[in-house]
């Protein structure tokens, strides 16, 4: 269902679908927005604040899943 909500591009490869989201090293911006329940603007604000870590491969920016999981864990306990 997550891939359907995020559109065709964010569907991921077969290998990505086999790995539970929290165990993946990275995800796309669209997948991170869907997982966190925020829009792209808010996600980029969190990236700029250093709350979420990213890496770039070529022109593509990928969100480091452990940093996203930590952020969501912190907000859940507050």
Asked if 21 and 27 count as a contact pair (C-beta separation under 8 A), the reply is yes
The helix/strand/coil state of 60 is strand
Higher local confidence (pLDDT), 12 or 49: 49
d(CA 47, CA 53): 6
d(CA 14, CA 61): 20
The model's pTM: 0.74
Query: Which pLDDT score, from 0 to 100, does residue 11 have?
Result: 58
Query: Which pLDDT score, from 0 to 100, does residue 4 have?
Result: 47
What would the two tokens of residue 33 be? Answer: 């927005």
Query: Which pLDDT score, from 0 to 100, does residue 54 have?
Result: 98
Q: Where are the alpha helices (DSSP H) in 1-78?
A: 2-6, 14-18, 29-36, 40-49, 65-77
Query: Which pLDDT score, from 0 to 100, does residue 16 have?
Result: 62
């Amino acid at each position: 269902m997550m891939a359907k909500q995020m559109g065709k591009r964010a569907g991921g490869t077969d290998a990505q679908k086999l790995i539970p989201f929290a165990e993946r090293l990275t995800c796309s911006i669209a997948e991170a927005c869907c997982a966190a329940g925020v829009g792209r603007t808010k996600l980029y604000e969190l990236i700029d604040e250093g709350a979420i870590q990213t890496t770039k491969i070529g022109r593509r920016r990928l969100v480091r899943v452990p940093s996203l999981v930590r952020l969501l864990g912190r907000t859940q306990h507050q």
